[in-house]
């Protein structure tokens, strides 16, 4: 509890004691009304003076309809109709409820903040042979830092000495520590739970993984969901509407039907107590906040409640194949030469592909393993979605997919009975109009993909896979994972148009696109919800995506969907519950069946229950 909350608690205790005493006195003795007023007044003022003061101050500031105003009017009105015990009790209960709310909200806020607390507080940098402790943003790129056991890695870098285990739970939700050794990457935000390591930083703090995650999480609440905005708009009309009806309720029946003034004013006061929208105004954002907090604990960073809402309505999820459903680590699985030797074919392919960053190209270079002489390579032209054209030893070599072969008018030949390269991607190589053979590359399906797709399909989501790879490779993966729709041999712009086509076809739900962020930015931003996987390295993907998965496990997608659905369910429960109770009490109050106690429950009691319900969203 904060100091302010403790003070309120003391006031509540003192006031309750005085209230009990006043209740006993007023029952024991038959007091005149002014004496009874005096016995209840101390208890009322001790617990309620700040509410009265705030109400007065806010009226001066032109803010009329707030909680304090409503409670002040309701309790002062109760005094006016000589319901003294009720006036004091209502104020007392209001404050108890407020205190409870403030403690509950504060607690969940802190537990989420703790969950997101991955900010490193210092870095041990080695300068001039000495170890100095500095703030992480004072460390420059390329400096050497020391990370001791139990410390958080402050900046991204490469381990140059030592080997250890890293706890990345706060980043990815993965509870199994990762063993790393010299030469491997150290991700900032991970905790070193083994022995001391030396890390050479590869960037400054502001560009580090940890700074990016924090930035994402902290600005998350600025993009609000429709449900959240609805509540704000609703509160704007709800309170004045109830206050006006309260006034009418107090004035009209006595004037028109000669009702008793005290009775109808009393009923109007009940209206005022119920009219506070706080149960909704607090619990709805709190539900979203808890849902997003719980998700980020599992390594699913959602950029705003609006995306959480959209995700919960996903009816189509489009996956990129490479890097999303498959690991994107390719391996040369076979070399089928045609008229040249296997070694020659691999040599030519490796030379041609040596400048490309494409994972397929890199796997060919890896398979070659030997020295690549840059002097043998001339001009290299990349042809998006097809492959590339390179000058090797003065000859033009084309390396790429079947579409490229078709374009240059070469027919692939296979004398090894592999059909159309069934088990993966195939890089065809041709030179001077002659087909030299093809290299088969297989891409491993990620272990979590099958389960992820199965779970999504069970929950009624249409799954679609897009890829630039060959049709056979794509259909092979698609069949294994039982994906509903497979589109292959796509150029980057084709992916956008297919997603647009699917967007036009959807019925009321939303479309999510999951990709690894490489070349995906246009599609990510086109989809209703863009999900970037393991994208902490790619700025463009983080910028374009709405949901960022800190690792590349596809199982996180159904998890994110589950969390979003649960959160939305809680939000709806809270809205319906709070409105139903309030409406019921309003009706009962108008008819004279509800007393002030029920009204106080409808206000603070409902708020407290809604808050407790909202906190459930955190435990996904």
Partner 1 sequence: MKKTFALEDLDCANCAAKMENGIKKLDGVKDCSVSFMTQRMTVEAEDGVDLDELMKRVVKLCRKVEPDMRIKL
Residue 96 to residue 238: CA distance in whole angstroms: 24
Residue 95 to residue 606: CA distance in whole angstroms: 14
DSSP-derived 3-state class of residue 188: coil
Q: Does 66 bind partner 1 (CB under 8 A)?
A: yes
Residues whose CB falls within 8 Å of the CB of residue 288, separated by 6 or more in sequence, listed in order: 225, 227, 228, 305, 308, 567, 571, 617
* 495: enclosing H helix or E strand: helix 492-505
Q: Does 457 bind partner 1 (CB under 8 A)?
A: no
Q: How far is the CB of 245 from partner 1 (least distance, A)?
A: 19
* Minimum CB distance to partner 1 smaller for 237 or for 593: 237
* Minimum CB distance to partner 1 smaller for 181 or for 229: 229
**Bridge partners of 463?**
317
Q: Does 571 bind partner 1 (CB under 8 A)?
A: no
Interaction residues for partner 1, span 141-160 (CB under 8 A): none
Q: Nearest-CA neighbor of 426 among 412, 439, 443?
A: 439
Task: Provide the CA 432 distance to its chain's centre, in angstroms.
Answer: 53
Here's the x/- map for partner 1, 81-110, by CB under 8 A: it reads as ---------------------x--x---x-
* Minimum CB distance to partner 1 smaller for 221 or for 333: 221
| From 235, 334, 372, 579, residue interacting with partner 1 (rule: CB under 8 A) | 235
Here's the x/- map for partner 1, 192-231, by CB under 8 A: it reads as --------------------------xxxxxxx-------
Q: How far is the CB of 285 from partner 1 (least distance, A)?
A: 6
* Minimum CB distance to partner 1 smaller for 109 or for 358: 109
* Minimum CB distance to partner 1 smaller for 327 or for 573: 573
Q: Does 392 bind partner 1 (CB under 8 A)?
A: no
Q: How far is the CB of 70 from partner 1 (least distance, A)?
A: 11
Residues whose CB falls within 8 Å of the CB of residue 273, separated by 6 or more in sequence, listed in order: 70, 71, 74, 90, 94, 596, 599, 600, 602, 603
Q: How far is the CB of 510 from partner 1 (least distance, A)?
A: 22
Interaction residues for partner 1, span 487-506 (CB under 8 A): none
Number of residues engaging partner 1 in binding (CB under 8 A): 29
DSSP-derived 3-state class of residue 614: helix
* Residue in this structure with the two tokens 């707030």, named with its chain if needed: 66
Residue 350 to residue 442: CA distance in whole angstroms: 17
Specify the stretch interacting with partner 1 by CB under 8 A; choose among 60-68, 430-438, 449-457, 494-502: 60-68
DSSP letter string over 196-250?
-EEEEE-S-GGGSHHHHHHHHHHTGGGS--HHHHHHHHHHHHHHHHHHHHHHHHH
Q: How far is the CB of 520 from partner 1 (least distance, A)?
A: 25
Q: Does 161 bind partner 1 (CB under 8 A)?
A: no
Is 320 designated active site?
yes
Interaction residues for partner 1, span 253-282 (CB under 8 A): 277-278, 281-282
Q: What is the maximal distance between C-alpha atoms in the chain?
A: 116
Phi, psi of 131 (to 5 degrees): -95, 125
Q: How far is the CB of 20 from partner 1 (least distance, A)?
A: 28
Residue 492 to residue 500: CA distance in whole angstroms: 13
| From 4, 366, 395, 415, residue interacting with partner 1 (rule: CB under 8 A) | 4
Q: How far is the CB of 286 from partner 1 (least distance, A)?
A: 6
| Ordered alpha helix ranges (H), 225-358 | 226-257, 261-274, 278-297, 305-312, 342-353
| From 6, 57, 127, 395, residue interacting with partner 1 (rule: CB under 8 A) | 57
Q: How far is the CB of 10 from partner 1 (least distance, A)?
A: 18
Q: Nearest-CA neighbor of 56 among 77, 44, 37, 71?
A: 71
* Residue in this structure with the two tokens 């705003």, named with its chain if needed: 304
Residue 152 to residue 301: CA distance in whole angstroms: 20
Q: How far is the CB of 338 from partner 1 (least distance, A)?
A: 58
* Minimum CB distance to partner 1 smaller for 19 or for 288: 288
Here's the x/- map for partner 1, 109-128, by CB under 8 A: it reads as x--x----------------
Interaction residues for partner 1, span 288-317 (CB under 8 A): 288-289
Give 73's Cβ-side CA count (13 Å radius).
24
Q: Does 62 bind partner 1 (CB under 8 A)?
A: yes
Phi, psi of 69 (to 5 degrees): -60, -45
* Minimum CB distance to partner 1 smaller for 403 or for 616: 616
Residue 397 to residue 356: CA distance in whole angstroms: 14
Catalytic residue among 320, 443, 546, 552: 320
**Bridge partners of 138?**
none
| From 63, 141, 206, 341, residue interacting with partner 1 (rule: CB under 8 A) | 63
**How many other C-beta atoms lie within 10 A of the C-beta of residue 4?**
10
Q: How far is the CB of 112 from partner 1 (least distance, A)?
A: 8
Q: Does 285 bind partner 1 (CB under 8 A)?
A: yes
Specify the stretch interacting with partner 1 by CB under 8 A; choose among 55-63, 81-89, 152-160, 383-391: 55-63
Residues at the contact surface with partner 1, assessed by CB under 8 A: 4, 57, 61-63, 66-67, 102, 105, 109, 112, 218-224, 232, 235-236, 277-278, 281-282, 285-286, 288-289
Q: Which residues are catalytic?
A: 320
């Amino acid at each position: 509890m904060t100091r302010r909350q403790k003070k309120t608690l003391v006031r509540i205790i003192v006031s309750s004691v005085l209230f009990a005493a006043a209740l006993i006195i007023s029952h024991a003795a038959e007091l005149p009304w002014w004496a009874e007023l005096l016995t209840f007044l101390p208890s009322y003022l001790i617990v309620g003076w700040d509410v009265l003061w705030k109400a007065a101050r806010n009226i001066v500031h032109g803010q009329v309809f707030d909680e304090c105003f409503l409670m002040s009017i309701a309790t002062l009105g109760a005094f006016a109709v000589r319901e003294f015990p009720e006036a004091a009790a209502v104020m007392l209960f209001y404050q108890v409820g407020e205190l409870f709310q403030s403690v509950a909200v504060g607690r969940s806020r802190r537990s989420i903040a703790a969950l997101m607390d991955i900010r490193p507080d210092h870095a041990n940098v080695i300068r001039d042979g000495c170890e100095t402790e500095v703030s992480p943003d004072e460390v420059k790129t390329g400096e050497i830092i020391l990370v001791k056991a139990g410390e958080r890695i402050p900046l991204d870098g490469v381990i140059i000495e030592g080997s250890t285990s890293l706890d990345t739970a706060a980043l990815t939700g993965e509870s199994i520590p990762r063993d790393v050794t010299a030469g491997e990457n150290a991700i900032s935000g991970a905790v070193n739970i083994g022995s001391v390591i030396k890390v050479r930083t590869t960037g400054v703090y502001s560009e580090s993984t940890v700074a990016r995650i924090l930035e994402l999480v902290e600005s998350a609440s600025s993009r609000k969901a429709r449900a959240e905005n609805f509540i704000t708009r609703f509160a704007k009309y709800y309170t004045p509407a109830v206050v006006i009806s309260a006034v009418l309720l107090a004035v009209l029946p006595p004037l028109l039907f000669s009702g008793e003034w005290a009775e109808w004013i009393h009923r109007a006061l009940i209206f005022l107590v119920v009219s506070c929208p706080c149960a909704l105004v607090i619990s709805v954002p709190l539900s979203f906040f808890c849902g997003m907090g719980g998700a980020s604990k599992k390594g699913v960073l959602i950029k705003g409640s609006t995306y959480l809402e959209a995700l919960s309505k996903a009816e189509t999820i489009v996956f990129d194949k490479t890097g999303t459903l498959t690991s994107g680590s390719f391996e040369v699985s076979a070399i089928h030469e045609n008229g040249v030797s296997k070694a020659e074919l691999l040599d030519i392919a490796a030379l041609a592909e040596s400048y490309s960053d494409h994972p397929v190209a890199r796997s060919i270079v890896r398979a070659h393993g030997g020295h690549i002489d840059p002097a043998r390579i001339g001009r290299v032209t990349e042809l998006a979605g097809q492959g590339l054209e390179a000058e090797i030893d003065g000859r033009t070599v084309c390396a790429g997919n079947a579409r490229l072969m078709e374009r240059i008018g070469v027919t692939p030949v296979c004398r090894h009975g592999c059909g159309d390269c069934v088990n993966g991607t195939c890089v065809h190589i041709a030179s001077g109009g002659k087909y030299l053979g093809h290299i088969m590359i297989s891409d491993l399906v990620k272990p979590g993909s099958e389960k992820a797709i199965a779970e999504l399909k069970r929950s009624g989501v249409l799954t679609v896979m897009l890829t630039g790879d060959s049709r056979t490779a794509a259909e092979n993966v698609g069949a294994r994972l039982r994906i509903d729709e497979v589109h292959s041999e796509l150029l980057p712009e084709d992916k956008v148009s297919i997603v647009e086509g699917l967007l036009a076809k959807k019925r009321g739900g939303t479309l999510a696109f999951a990709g690894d962020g490489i070349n995906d930015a246009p599609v990510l931003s086109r989809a209703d919800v863009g999900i970037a996987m393991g994208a902490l390295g790619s700025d463009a993907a983080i910028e374009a995506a709405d949901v960022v998965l800190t690792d590349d496990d596809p199982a996180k997608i159904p998890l994110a969907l589950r969390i979003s659905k649960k959160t939305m369910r809680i939000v709806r429960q809270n809205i319906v519950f709070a409105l139903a109770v309030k409406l019921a009490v309003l009706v009962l109050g108008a008819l004279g069946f509800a007393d002030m106690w029920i009204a106080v429950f409808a206000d603070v009691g409902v708020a407290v229950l809604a808050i407790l319900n909202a906190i459930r969203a955190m435990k996904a």
